[in-house]
Amino acid sequence: MADTSVKELVMVFETQTPGKYYTMRYRNPKDGITTEEIQNFMQWVIDQNMFLTPNGELTGIHDGGVVERTFTDLIPD
């Protein structure tokens, strides 16, 4: 397996159930995405009320960011 790197945009929303969260993950976000862009998108998703989770509707922004994972192949095929 070759060396690989994967980026994901992770957005964590609060739900109607206190202490329960809903997470969305999107692969390959654009380079240089900003906090403001993430927050604006998350608020838009909440305002559209388009998702009903097992813990109810999305009610707020809890957390968000970009996760990068790298796999370094140490044992070649």
| pLDDT for the residue 8 | 97
pLDDT digit string (tens) for the chain, length 77 residues: 788 999 999 999 999 999 999 999 999 999 999 999 999 999 999 999 999 999 999 999 999 999 999 999 999 87
Q: What is the dihedral of CA 54, 57, 62, 63, to 10 degrees?
A: 70
Closest CA to 68 of 1, 15, 4, 17: 4
pLDDT, residue 51, reads: 93
